[in-house]
């Protein structure tokens, strides 16, 4: 039954297993990051587009808010 729903799942699983996973050596034993915090301070950097995209997002949000304010104002004056 599962093959009828996703016929390409089996070949994708095999391909992922062969190309993305390393079966030659085991990973070293660690405490992991679930119960023990990672060393150093956490930081976020990089991304797609950086400052330019952030500025564009801010302009888009400001434009959307201004449009919403104009629409609400028109609705209030039309009904009042």
Residue pLDDT, tens place only, 22-75:
778 887 888 777 777 778 888 887 777 777 888 899 999 999 999 999 999 999
Q: What pLDDT is recorded for position 43?
A: 82
Alpha helices in 1-80 (DSSP H): 2-5, 9-19, 50-79
pTM: 0.40
At 3, is the pLDDT very low, low, confident or very high (cuts 50, 70, 90)?
Answer: low
Q: What pLDDT is recorded for position 8?
A: 79
Burial class (CB in 10 A: 0-12, 13-18, 19+), 28: exposed
Q: What pLDDT is recorded for position 21?
A: 80
């Amino acid at each position: 039954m599962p093959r009828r729903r996703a016929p390409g799942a089996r070949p994708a699983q095999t391909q992922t297993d062969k190309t993305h996973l390393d079966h030659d050596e085991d990973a070293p034993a660690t405490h992991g990051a679930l119960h023990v915090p990672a060393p150093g301070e956490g930081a976020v950097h990089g991304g797609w587009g950086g400052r330019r995209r952030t500025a564009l997002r801010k302009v888009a949000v400001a434009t959307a808010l201004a449009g919403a304010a104009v629409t609400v104002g028109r609705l209030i004056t039309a009904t009042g």
